[in-house]
Amino acid sequence: MVNHELIKKITIYSFSNQVNSTNKTLDSLSDEQLALEIAPGKNSGIYLLGHLTAVHDFLLPLLGFGDKLFPELFEVFIKNSDKSGLVKPTAQQLRKQWSEVNAILLSKISALSVDDLFAKHTSVSEEDFVKEPHRNRLNVIMSRISHLAYHSGQMALLKKS
Amino acid sequence: MVNHELIKKITIYSFSNQVNSTNKTLDSLSDEQLALEIAPGKNSGIYLLGHLTAVHDFLLPLLGFGDKLFPELFEVFIKNSDKSGLVKPTAQQLRKQWSEVNAILLSKISALSVDDLFAKHTSVSEEDFVKEPHRNRLNVIMSRISHLAYHSGQMALLKKS
């Protein structure tokens, strides 16, 4: 296996690893626990789950995989904060959406060729991509893995010590 | 620039990006804030800073860059938990050590060739590496970036809302 094939393997491994680790935390939390703030005055677990689902949903158009599955999440979980007063979906619904969007992402990323992985994402112009060739799909995926890890560490605080 | 050269660029970018983002959080926290628990009953900020420093220090031998700079941190921040009763270095000292270890890591990673990045890390045997070629330096670095993001998200909770 040549180096650049390994890149794809490591990307998929890193992504699914972080999703699985987050799922383990989610599975250990009841819906009631998820409704709590991760620390006094901070975001609730359910807001973070919605935020992560909305951000991963946004990866679909960004990576050129098609339209968002749940565009309604953007308003509640990206554009607005936890305490906006906007009605949130139930924990049960968000758990399902989270699982759905990651299944599709993983299958689409797995189907990419290595060249596709190094191709530009949809929010960078052809001109800018010539100057900044690192603004590719791989870079976006890596950045979202870190974003997921960041909030996953916060949600883990809801687990009983 | 060919694909595999971009990998190195993206790796360095991801690593330094996450370190910089963590440093921004650390810079916004006083030593007193860092001494607080990130959530009731959970790890203190200073324990997390020590833990991250110890884990990054361990990357030096793991990536074949030489001995640990601060081997004494292992006992306090990896082997034992926050409430162990073991004496911790001061926040000032840990901030300095954190900064030092990342400067060396970044310089060593930047000096690697792309082939070096895909070479095995030191805790995998030659035999296992033949079977599992993804157990390379790149994979270790990616996993530590996620680890850093995970705890960085927790430390960020110490910031005033």
Predicted pLDDT of residue B17: 96
Confidence of residue A2 (pLDDT cuts 50, 70, 90): low
**Spatial distance between the Cα atoms of A7 and B133, rounded to a whole number of angstroms:** 11
DSSP class of residue B13 equals H
Burial class (CB in 10 A: 0-12, 13-18, 19+), A158: buried
Amino acid at B54: A
3-state secondary structure of A44: strand
Q: Which of A143, A149, A155, A154 is nearest to A59 (CA)?
A: A143
Instruction: Determine the residue among A2, A5, A6, A129 to mutate to test chain B binding: the one whose Cβ has the most chain B Cβ atoms within 10 Å.
Output: A6
First-to-last CA distance in chain A?
43
Instruction: Say yes or no to pLDDT of A82 above 60.
Output: yes
ipTM of the predicted assembly exceeds 0.90: yes
Cβ A14 vs Cβ A142: under 8 Å? yes
- The 10s digit of each residue's pLDDT in A114-151 is 899 999 899 999 999 999 888 899 999 999 999 999 99
- Six-digit token pair at B16? 């330094």
Cβ A29 vs Cβ A158: under 8 Å? yes
Amino acid at B68: K
Instruction: Say yes or no to pLDDT of A113 above 60.
Output: yes
Please state the separation of Cα B119 from the chain's center in Å: 20
The structure tokens 């619904």 sit at A93
- The 10s digit of each residue's pLDDT in A13-70 is 999 999 999 999 999 999 999 999 999 999 999 999 999 999 999 999 999 999 999 9
The structure tokens 């953007």 sit at A74
Residues of B with CB under 8 A from a CB of A: 1, 3-4, 6-7, 9-10, 13-14, 17-18, 38-42, 114-115, 118, 133-134, 136, 138-139, 142-143, 145-147, 149-154, 156-157, 161
**Spatial distance between the Cα atoms of A14 and A9, rounded to a whole number of angstroms:** 9
**Spatial distance between the Cα atoms of B32 and B90, rounded to a whole number of angstroms:** 11
Q: Compute φ and ψ for B38, nearest 5 degrees.
A: -70, -25
Cβ A101 vs Cβ A60: under 8 Å? yes
Residues of A with CB under 8 A from a CB of B: 1, 3-4, 6-7, 9-10, 13-14, 17-18, 38-42, 114-115, 118, 133-134, 136, 138-139, 142-143, 145-147, 149-154, 156-157, 161
**Spatial distance between the Cα atoms of B22 and B129, rounded to a whole number of angstroms:** 32
Residue B54: how many CB atoms within 10 A of its CB?
Answer: 24
Q: Which of B58, B41, B97 is nearest to A159 (CA)?
A: B41
Cβ A96 vs Cβ A137: under 8 Å? no
**Which residue in chain A is spatially nearest to B9 when comparing CA positions?**
A134
**Spatial distance between the Cα atoms of B36 and B13, rounded to a whole number of angstroms:** 31
pTM of the model: 0.96
Predicted pLDDT of residue A132: 87
- The 10s digit of each residue's pLDDT in B22-64 is 999 999 999 999 999 999 999 999 999 999 999 999 999 999 9
- Percent of chain B beyond pLDDT 70? 98
3-state secondary structure of A159: coil
Please state the separation of Cα B142 from the chain's center in Å: 11
Which H or E run contains A97? helix A91-111
3-state secondary structure of A9: helix
β strands within A37-100, DSSP E: none
Cβ A152 vs Cβ A22: under 8 Å? yes
